[in-house]
């Protein structure tokens, strides 16, 4: 039987830092000691073994390698027999539990995991916020947002009741060590002396991240299990503020305890990117500058801020969407084949892509802001008409940019990003436009519109998830007339079962210690380095965004940007 070791800092760590960080640093036992899953699949057993091997190395608070000593203590180790008997427990604390994100996404995702049998047998969920609520009031508040999978509705009510009985609430200030000490007491009551693993989800504004982490570290971390913290974006506003946030968090947490969440990485079609490329021989040989003419990453929302402009105006569409969601998808799309599916191997390849990219230049981007517009007899407010937005705000609600990767695979291929609010449709997709066929025998059939002969691979992330490949095909008949047709994989037709929400997948990964879909600190630094110069120039020069009507396709400047690189936006032909 394998023995396990508890990892603690060596005496070489500085005494001042050790005093501040030891409550969390001393609570990192291997994952295989901690969770009890009701379903025993080969996959879950492999993941358990995989995570046990992975947790043998940690970074110090400044990101440098630290010497760690290992202690073998039979009282602190649980073998597989203990795990299957349920001698461990999981406590999930949602900090900011009264907010919209918690109510609409986090609690429903936790219930979905419980409903599917993905949570340990012994778990509890605590809400923590400044709002004064009772346990019952919390349960009533979140019960309206819980839904069951469409194929398992017969026991939905019973499952909801069982889940809600495991939900509790504690009111406290975000910067109060005393309040977190009281939370710790309540957590211990539910844990009942078992091996306790604790997950904190920070569904709060970034300006209070460090206060919460400090209090949780000093007063509410697990004494004998692991402690992990999920941090929501935004991770700063630029390179400097992001780096400062990382440095502050690492005063109390190791890099392995920080799970920076980007929910787009948990979406089904984004996770399928590497499967599509690396497990299909038909695609991998084509995945380079030799065959791909351009790649487009498109995000659109058909609504504006609508009274929620206070947060958005501080960040804008570039920081809110492009620097994280779209750039993360780009890195996954363009990375080289990783050594393995290990989280660190994948994240290292993504970092290589980001470090190979040219920083975004002002001349390679267009910004816009939606204005009021009447459509179908209904009037829509402009961005600055929103009472939560300053009257003369220059914050962009639309941006388009051209980015390039300076490596052998992608040299010269434009990666075009486009993101906006109050556009004509809602969606997110990746469009891969291939090069023209050299010496095409059927060129005359396309007249002067050579774009019609271009093959295009489209990965629709949302809504109506699907993958389709546009090919040229002969129209049946006596003549020779060509048509563009789609080889279409529509997920709802092929896979009728409901697709799990991204938050479900990411929460489960955090519980299991799987970091593949979370952002590493050096990855975050590289991402900000690409956007910070252009963002600062936009703000220093007070560049006025181009106006576009609410419900339109965005500013005209985006089309000029694409044509600068001999590209036409692929979504122009869509309804």
Q: Cα separation of 112 and 501, whole Å?
A: 9
Phi, psi (deg, nearest 5) at residue 65: -65, 140
Confirm if 232 and 245 have CB atoms less than 8 A apart. no
> How would you label 103-122 residue by residue, b for 16+ Cβ within 10 Å and e otherwise?
bebbbbbbbbbbbbebbbeb
Catalytic residue among 170, 325, 436, 559: 325
Q: Cα separation of 429 and 470, whole Å?
A: 15
- Cis ω on the peptide bond leading into residue 234 (within 30° of 0)? yes
- Residue 43, both tokens: 């996959």
Residues 6+ apart with CB under 8 A from 320: 234, 312
Cα-Cα-Cα-Cα dihedral sign, residues 498, 499, 501, 506: positive
- Cis ω on the peptide bond leading into residue 463 (within 30° of 0)? yes
Q: Cα separation of 37 and 539, whole Å?
A: 50
> How would you label 185-197 residue by residue, b for 16+ Cβ within 10 Å and e otherwise?
ebbeebbeebbbb
What is the gyration radius of the CA atoms in the chain, in angstroms? Answer: 25
387, exposed or middle or buried, with CB in 10 Å at 0-12, 13-18, 19+? exposed
- Residue 369, both tokens: 């802001």
Between helix 343-355 and helix 327-334 the angle, nearest 10°, is 100
Q: Could you tell me the end-to-end alpha-carbon distance of the chain, in angstroms, rounded to an integer?
A: 61
Strand, helix or coil at 141?
helix
DSSP 570: G
Secondary structure element (H or E) that encloses residue 466, with its range: strand 466-474
Angstrom CA distances, 149 to 109, 163, 211, 419, stand at 11, 15, 37, 31
Q: Cα separation of 320 and 314, whole Å?
A: 10
325 belongs to the catalytic site: yes
Residues 6+ apart with CB under 8 A from 364: 401, 402, 403, 561
Strand, helix or coil at 197?
strand
Phi, psi (deg, nearest 5) at residue 320: -75, -35
SS3 content of the chain, % helix, strand, coil (to 5): 40, 20, 40
Q: Cα separation of 73 and 71, whole Å?
A: 6
Q: Cα separation of 388 and 385, whole Å?
A: 9
Q: CA nearest 110: which of 128, 90, 129, 130?
A: 90
Beta strand 123-129 pairing with 427-434: unpaired
Measured in whole angstroms, the distance separating CA 157 from the mean position of its chain's CA atoms is 31
Question: What positions carry a catalytic annotation?
Answer: 325
């Amino acid at each position: 039987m394998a023995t396990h070791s508890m990892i603690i800092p060596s005496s070489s760590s500085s005494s001042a830092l050790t005093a501040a960080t030891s409550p969390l640093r001393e609570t990192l036992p291997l994952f295989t000691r901690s969770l009890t899953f009701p379903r025993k699949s080969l996959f879950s057993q492999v993941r358990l073994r995989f995570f046990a091997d992975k947790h043998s190395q940690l970074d110090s608070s400044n990101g440098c390698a630290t010497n760690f000593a290992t202690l073998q203590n039979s009282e602190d180790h649980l073998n597989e027999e203990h795990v299957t008997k349920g001698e461990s427990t999981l406590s999930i604390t949602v900090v900011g539990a009264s907010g919209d994100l918690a109510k609409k996404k986090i609690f429903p995702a936790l219930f979905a995991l419980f409903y599917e049998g993905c949570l340990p047998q012994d778990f509890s969920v605590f809400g923590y916020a400044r709002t004064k609520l009772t346990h019952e009031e919390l349960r009533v508040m979140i019960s309206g947002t819980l839904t069951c999978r469409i194929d398992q509705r017969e026991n939905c009510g019973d499952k909801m009741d069982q889940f809600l009985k495991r939900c509790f609430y504690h009111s406290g200030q975000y910067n109060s060590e005393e309040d977190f000490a009281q939370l710790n007491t309540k957590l211990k009551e539910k844990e009942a002396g078992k091996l306790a693993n604790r997950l904190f989800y920070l569904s709060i504004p970034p300006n209070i991240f460090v206060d919460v982490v400090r209090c949780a570290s000093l007063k509410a971390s697990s004494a004998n299990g692991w402690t992990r913290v999920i941090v929501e974006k935004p991770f700063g506003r630029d390179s400097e503020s992001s780096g400062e946030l990382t440095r502050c968090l690492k005063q109390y947490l190791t890099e392995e305890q920080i799970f920076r969440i980007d929910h787009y990485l948990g979406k089904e079609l984004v996770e399928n990117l590497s499967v599509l490329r690396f497990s299909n021989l038909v695609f991998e040989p084509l995945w380079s500058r030799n065959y791909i003419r351009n790649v487009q990453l498109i995000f659109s929302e058909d609504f504006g801020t609508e009274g929620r402009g206070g947060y958005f105006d501080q960040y804008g569409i570039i920081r809110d969407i492009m620097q994280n969601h779209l750039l993360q998808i780009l890195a996954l799309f363009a990375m080289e084949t990783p050594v393995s599916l290990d989280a660190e191997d994948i994240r290292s390849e993504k970092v290589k892509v980001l470090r190979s990219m040219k920083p975004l230049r002002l001349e390679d981007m267009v910004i816009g802001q939606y204005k009021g517009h009447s459509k179908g007899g209904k009037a829509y407010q402009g961005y600055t008409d929103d009472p939560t937005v300053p009257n003369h705000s220059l914050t962009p609600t639309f941006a388009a940019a051209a980015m390039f990767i300076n490596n052998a695979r992608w040299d010269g291929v434009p990666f075009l990003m486009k993101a906006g609010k109050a556009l004509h449709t809602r969606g997110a997709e990746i469009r891969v436009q291939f090069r023209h066929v050299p010496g095409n025998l059927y060129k005359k059939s396309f007249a002067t519109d050579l774009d019609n002969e271009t093959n295009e691979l489209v990965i629709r992330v949302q809504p109506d998830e699907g993958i389709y490949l546009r090919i040229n095909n002969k129209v049946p008949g006596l003549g020779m007339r060509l048509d563009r047709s789609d080889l279409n994989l529509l997920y709802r037709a092929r896979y009728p079962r409901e697709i799990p929400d991204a938050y479900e997948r990411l929460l489960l990964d955090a519980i299991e210690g799987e970091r593949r879909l979370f952002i590493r600190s050096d990855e975050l630094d590289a991402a900000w380095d690409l956007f910070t110069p252009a963002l600062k120039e936009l703000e220093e020069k007070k560049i006025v965004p181009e106006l576009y009507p609410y419900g339109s396709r965005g500013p005209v400047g985006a089309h000029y940007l694409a044509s600068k690189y001999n590209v036409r936006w692929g979504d122009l032909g869509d309804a």
